[in-house]
């Protein structure tokens, strides 16, 4: 029987450096020696996956296609399942751990980093335990279920001299990077407004609809994509919030958390954002940005198929428009390949990840503000 540790999410900038846009062919690069990472002909970072649910499967398949990373350990509450996965990815049985004995992997030199793929409320505990064991941490989003937890995670990683990256996979996806660059380069002019939604009709019995494991409702799970996108697209942190939440379906799924939530944000520049998220209806993810010279839109926060459309007039109002219609042809699990490659490169080159713990902390702070505006207690 699978415990809560095994039931994982299906969905789940600071200002980005765009010079890294094409820097993903890492196999041929010569990485400098970094303390704690095995060196030699096979200079790949070894990952221990903590939690073997649905999203972990995407990461496992992604690492299998990576030239910079490999799976070297597993943590699971289900030994039989772990052994089957270990055989598939070439992990020795001696590198399989239960949750209770996980701290023993401190002495496993084949494990350089961990991927925390557990329900939200468990992220802090297992990030901190991993940091104390001297392992770098790639943690799924949302970073935690409380601002104080996020702060403790950052502190633990700094105290133990390990890197912390939050798994915002879209920050490494080409269409997303192109969209950010277009806005930064002024293609659509001054950003005026941002509109976004993301949600789905949740099945009964999901851990994410419980306060104890999910920490909140759809805002924590899928609404965070809209929040994070508004931040990395405007390049600003929101300063004012309004929000309203509702529950329409009283069928037992929403005894702990809200079903629907809509919120607005104002940024220091004056740009405004309007976002919605739900656990009660199919709500395909998208964002649209309106600027003084035009607009752009990206459909899908999913694991593949990001589609960019844009129309803007470089010369300003009344001049001929430029149009863009482009889809990322890459298939799942390429997002996870790019994400693992980035973190592995940061470990090998002793660099700070583009989505460090501080990025996750900022989202937690804003989620707290949104919940407060909606009259919902967080944590």
181 lies in the same domain as 232: yes
CB contact burial 24-57 (16+ within 10 A = b; e otherwise): bebeeeebeebeebeeeeebbbbbbbbbbbebbb
Do 273 and 238 touch, CB atoms closer than 8 A? yes
| Terminal CA-CA length for the chain | 28
Percentage of the chain with pLDDT > 90?
87
Q: In the predicted model, is pLDDT for residue 7 greater than 90? A: no
Give the position of tokens 């954002």: 273
pLDDT on residue 237? 98
Cα gap 350→226, rounded to integer Å: 30
Mean per-residue pLDDT over the chain, rounded? 91
158 lies in the same domain as 182: no
> Using 50, 70 and 90 to split pLDDT, how confident is the model at 379?
low
149 lies in the same domain as 180: no
Cα gap 345→358, rounded to integer Å: 19
158 lies in the same domain as 260: no
Percentage of the chain with pLDDT > 70?
89
Counting the structural domains of the chain, the total is: 2
Cα gap 340→346, rounded to integer Å: 10
Full DSSP string of 236-255: S---EEEEEEE----SSTTS
Residue 91: half-sphere exposure toward Cβ, Cα within 13 Å: 29
CA dihedral angle for residue 56, residue 225, residue 357, residue 33, rounded to 10 degrees: 60
Could you read off the pLDDT of 16-58 as tens digits, one per residue? 333 333 333 333 333 333 445 655 546 899 999 999 999 999 9
- Give the residue numbers marked as catalytic: 141, 225
pLDDT on residue 42? 65
The parent domain of residue 194 ranges over: 171-331+363-374
103 lies in the same domain as 185: no
Could you read off the pLDDT of 277-303 as tens digits, one per residue? 999 999 999 999 999 999 999 999 999
Q: What's the pTM value of the predicted model, to 2 decimals?
A: 0.90
3-state secondary structure of 370: helix
Element containing residue 338 per DSSP (H, E): helix 334-349
379 belongs to a structural domain: no
Q: In the predicted model, is pLDDT for residue 5 greater than 90? A: no
CATH of the domain at 273: 3.30.360.10
49 lies in the same domain as 160: yes
126 lies in the same domain as 36: yes
Q: Taking the mean position of all CA atoms in its chain, how far away is CA 14?
A: 14
204 belongs to a structural domain: yes
3-state secondary structure of 150: helix
Cα gap 258→236, rounded to integer Å: 27
Q: Taking the mean position of all CA atoms in its chain, how far away is CA 11?
A: 9
Region 251-270: what's the mean pLDDT?
98
pLDDT on residue 316? 82
CATH of the domain at 96: 3.40.50.720
Cα gap 130→123, rounded to integer Å: 11
107 lies in the same domain as 194: no
- The partner residues of 244 in beta bridges, in order of sequence, read 262
Token pair belonging to 318: 């009344």
Could you read off the pLDDT of 303-331 as tens digits, one per residue? 999 999 999 999 888 899 999 999 999 99
Best CA proximity match to 105, nearest among 66, 140, 137: 137
191 lies in the same domain as 158: no
Token pair belonging to 99: 């949750």
Element containing residue 363 per DSSP (H, E): helix 357-374
Residue 317: half-sphere exposure toward Cβ, Cα within 13 Å: 3
């Amino acid at each position: 029987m699978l415990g809560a540790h095994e039931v994982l999410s299906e969905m789940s900038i600071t200002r980005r450096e765009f010079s890294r846009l094409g820097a993903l062919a890492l196999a041929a690069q010569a990485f400098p020696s970094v303390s704690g990472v095995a060196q030699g002909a096979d200079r790949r970072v070894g990952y221990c996956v903590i939690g073997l649910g649905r999203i972990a499967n995407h990461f496992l398949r992604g690492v299998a296609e990576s030239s910079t990373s490999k799976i070297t350990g597993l943590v699971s509450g289900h030994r039989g399942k772990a052994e089957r996965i270990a055989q598939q990815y070439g992990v020795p049985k001696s590198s399989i751990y239960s949750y209770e004995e996980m701290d023993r992997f401190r002495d496993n030199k084949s494990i350089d980093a961990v991927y925390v793929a557990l329900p939200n409320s468990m992220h802090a505990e297992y990030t901190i335990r991993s940091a104390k064991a001297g392992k770098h941490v790639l943690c799924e989003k949302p970073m935690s279920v409380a601002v104080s937890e996020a702060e403790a995670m950052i502190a633990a990683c700094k105290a133990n001299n390990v890197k912390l990256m939050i798994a915002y996979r879209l920050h490494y996806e080409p269409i997303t990077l192109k969209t950010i660059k277009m806005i930064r380069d002024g293609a659509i002019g001054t950003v005026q407004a941002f509109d976004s939604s993301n949600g789905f009709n949740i099945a009964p019995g999901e851990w994410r609809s419980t306060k104890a494991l999910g920490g909140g409702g759809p805002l924590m799970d899928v609404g965070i994509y809209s929040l994070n996108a508004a931040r990395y697209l405007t390049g600003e942190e929101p300063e004012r919030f309004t929000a309203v939440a509702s529950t329409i379906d009283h069928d037992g799924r929403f005894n702990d958390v809200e079903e629907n939530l809509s919120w607005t944000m104002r940024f220091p520049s004056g740009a405004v954002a309007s976002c919605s998220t739900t656990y009660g209806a199919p709500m395909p993810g998208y964002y649209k940005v309106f600027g003084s010279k035009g607009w752009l839109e990206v459909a899908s926060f999913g694991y593949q198929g990001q589609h960019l459309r844009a129309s803007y007039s470089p010369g300003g109002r009344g001049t001929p428009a430029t149009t863009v219609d482009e889809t990322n042809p890459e298939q799942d699990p390429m997002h996870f390949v790019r994400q693992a490659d980035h973190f592995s490169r940061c470990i090998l080159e002793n660099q700070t990840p583009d989505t460090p713990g501080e990025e996750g902390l900022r989202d937690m702070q804003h989620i707290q503000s949104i919940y407060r505006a909606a009259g919902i207690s967080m944590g």
